[in-house]
Amino acid sequence: EAGVAQSPRYKIIEKRQSVAFWCNPISGHATLYWYQQILGQGPKLLIQFQNNGVVDDSQLPKDRFSAERLKGVDSTLKIQPAKLEDSAVYLCASSLELAGAKVEQFFGPGTRLTVL
Amino acid sequence: AQRVTQPEKLLSVFKGAPVELKCNYSYSGSPELFWYVQYSRQRLQLLLRHISRESIKGFTADLNKGETSFHLKKPFAQEEDSAMYYCALNSGYALNFGKGTSLLVTP
């Protein structure tokens, strides 16, 4: 089966600029996750969707980050305006259902963002 | 608070030697734990989950609730095991990852 797709793979912007990332999950996967992975750290969940509804966005910096999954399939994550500390790899993942003991999350290749 | 601790940033072993990647957690509920792996230039992928109690690529992990640990073990390391390993705790609906341990298996 085709995996989780993300674009772009790399992005370099200057601070205070805006940037958007796109994710296409595995077909049929109801749950979609966006993670931020700063160098030397493990992935940190930013937001989680079940179909087109938000399940958890408690760690999303809502003053600058936004995400949507309007039709319950593709998703976009936006940062506006970007700060230096937003430099990280942004990972998208999907799963058939909400996370649980048996649920496997499938990850995309990530988008590496550098903010100068 | 939910927390996953992987105390070793880097672990280097010789091919054929046993390997143990440590993972400790803190969680007030019944923990659901996973090991994810990322090989060079590949995506993060599931290695194993505690509920399955299975051996994948020779790796096993046992949940020890008394010691709040979920260490990953393999009796004989292979060069192809070199990768980044992340322990993760399912807390509610989200996965909480540790910082990861880089395993290097040298010939």
Measure in Å the smallest separation between the Cα of B102 and chain A Cα atoms: 10
Confidence of residue A66 (pLDDT cuts 50, 70, 90): very high
Q: What is the CA radius of gyration of chain A?
A: 13
Which chain B residues are Cβ-neighbours of A93 within 8 angstroms?
Answer: 44
Per-residue pLDDT reduced to its tens digit, B6-62? 999 999 999 999 999 999 999 888 888 999 999 999 999 999 988 887 888 999 998
SS3 (DSSP) at B103: strand
Q: Is B3 on the interface with A (CB under 8 A)?
A: no
Percentage of chain B lying above the pLDDT 90 cut: 79
Per-residue pLDDT reduced to its tens digit, A3-51? 999 999 999 999 999 999 999 999 999 999 999 999 999 999 999 999 9
Look at the block and give the residue holding tokens 């940033």.
B9
pLDDT at A1: 55
Q: Is B99 on the interface with A (CB under 8 A)?
A: yes
Name the token pair of A18: 């805006």
Mean pLDDT value across chain A: 94
Report the residue from B43, B94, B99 with minimal CB separation from A48: B94
Report the residue from B43, B46, B98 with minimal CB separation from A104: B46
Tell me how far apart the alpha carbons of residues A64 and A108 are, in angstroms, rounded to a whole number: 23
